[in-house]
């Protein structure tokens, strides 16, 4: 009898799905740009801990064509440095407007101040477009700053221009700034999605994490790395101009930053890992049972998929019997959202 009971328990444990990541049970509201929707969790698993106060976000749709860029985005604040830029309808990733800068000038950027903050986790997502003619130069895209004299790690992305153009990740050792080739594709004349998933290390300890994605490709991934020896990252900068005497056009769209990995994202492939890019939907309310988020459809249309990613960077999963993390199917423009099976990953032995 004992053997029968033990075998029955084994069968129960390995047959019943135990959730490792949360599932979405439903969405109320209309999936259109700028609308707020409520995302409900399935069962008792919930969405876990998350943050509802992004550091910065703007899709620039509140501007009028030709307006100068403001230091007050939809969420947060940033400081404008260097040459001014405008918001125009020349081309955009989402909606009809994006920041626009064309011509020759010194580096110009808007920066988000982090001085005095002791944040350890960051998620940064935005879209970048550039066109460049002339001699070889360097296009800065984004960079976080620490204390250079203290050998801090400065994550960021740059592209060289001209023949053999390629991408770089920024690293700042004590001697000077070095560059490591990370991306051989020349991404001119197209919108490129850039993601940074960052974790500051404990001071002088190799427990930090730097992950940089370009168009869904992990171009740099450093784990167990020492990112600082005393202080924390103090600012991060989005660049919209390049230092050279030739002509460049740079546009930015759907800029998002948060001091948490938790987020709501939208993609076009049902399996999370199969997506080349994601649209970020800023959260304004997060609890274990439900989340309110601002819809940002980007360039997506018709059928798409939604995920809630928790503070450990684990996406929600609608089908535990399928490998990977399956998204919740939505129809853009509709208020009637599909409800997938709410399976979950089987418990690991």
pLDDT digits (tens, 9 = 90+) for 94-122: 999 999 988 766 677 888 988 778 999 99
Contacting residues for 5 by C-beta, under 8 A, at least 6 apart: none
Q: Are 298 and 57 in contact (CB under 8 A)?
A: no
Q: Are 178 and 171 in contact (CB under 8 A)?
A: yes
35-68 residue pLDDT tens:
999 999 997 779 988 998 899 999 999 999 999 9
Helix-, strand-, coil-residue percentages of the chain, each rounded to 5: 5, 45, 50
Tell whether the model's pLDDT for residue 146 goes beyond 70. Answer: yes
Q: Which domains does the chain have, with CATH numbers?
A: 17-51+267-331 (no CATH), 56-258 (2.60.120.200)
User: What pTM value is reported for the model?
Assistant: 0.87
Q: Exposed, middle or buried by CB within 10 Å (0-12, 13-18, 19+), for 301? A: exposed
The pLDDT of 194-216, averaged and rounded, is: 91
124-142 residue pLDDT tens:
999 999 887 766 666 778 8
- Residue 181 has a pLDDT of 60
Q: Which of 199-208, 222-231, 302-311 has the lowest mean pLDDT?
A: 222-231
Q: Which of 40-44, 183-187, 284-288, 295-299 has the lowest mean pLDDT?
A: 183-187
- CA 242 – CA 102 distance, rounded (Å): 10
In the structure, what pLDDT confidence band is assigned to residue 5 with cuts at 50, 70 and 90? very low
With CA atoms as reference, report the closest residue to 17 among 321, 270, 310, 314: 321
Tell whether the model's pLDDT for residue 344 goes beyond 60. Answer: no
Please give the C-alpha separations between residue 37 and each of 27, 79, 84, 290, in angstroms, as whole numbers.
Answer: 7, 30, 35, 10
- Residue 154 has a pLDDT of 78
């Amino acid at each position: 009898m004992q053997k029968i009971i033990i075998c029955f328990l084994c069968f129960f444990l390995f047959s019943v799905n135990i959730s490792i990541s949360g599932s979405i049970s439903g969405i109320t509201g209309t999936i259109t740009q700028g609308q707020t929707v409520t995302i409900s969790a399935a069962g008792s698993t919930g969405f876990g801990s998350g943050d509802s106060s992004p550091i910065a976000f703007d899709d620039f749709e509140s501007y009028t064509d030709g307006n100068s860029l403001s230091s007050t985005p939809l969420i947060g604040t940033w400081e404008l440095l260097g040459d001014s830029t405008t918001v125009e309808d020349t081309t955009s990733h989402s909606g009809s407007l994006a920041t626009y800068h064309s011509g020759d000038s010194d580096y110009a950027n808007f920066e988000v101040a982090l001085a005095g903050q002791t944040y350890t986790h960051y998620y940064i997502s935005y879209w970048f477009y550039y066109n460049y003619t002339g001699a070889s130069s360097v296009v800065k895209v984004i960079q976080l700053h620490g204390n250079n004299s203290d050998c801090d790690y400065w994550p960021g992305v740059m592209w060289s221009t001209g023949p053999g153009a390629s991408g770089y990740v920024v690293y700042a050792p004590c001697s000077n700034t070095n560059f490591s080739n990370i991306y051989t594709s020349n991404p001119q004349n197209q919108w490129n999605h850039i993601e940074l998933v960052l974790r500051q290390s404990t001071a002088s300890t190799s427990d930090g994490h730097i992950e940089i994605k370009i168009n869904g490709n992990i171009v740099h991934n450093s784990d167990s790395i020492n990112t600082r020896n005393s202080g924390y990252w103090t600012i991060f900068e989005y660049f919209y101009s390049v230092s050279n005497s030739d002509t460049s056009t740079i546009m930015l769209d759907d800029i998002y930053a948060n001091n948490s990995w938790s987020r709501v994202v939208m993609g076009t492939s049902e399996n999370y890992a199969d997506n080349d890019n994601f649209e970020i939907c800023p959260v304004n309310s997060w609890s274990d049972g439900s989340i309110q988020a601002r819809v940002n459809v980007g360039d997506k249309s018709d059928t798409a998929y939604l995920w809630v990613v928790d503070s450990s960077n684990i996406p929600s999963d609608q089908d535990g019997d399928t490998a990977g993390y399956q998204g919740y199917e939505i129809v853009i423009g509709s208020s009637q959202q599909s409800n997938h099976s709410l399976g979950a990953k089987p418990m690991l032995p």
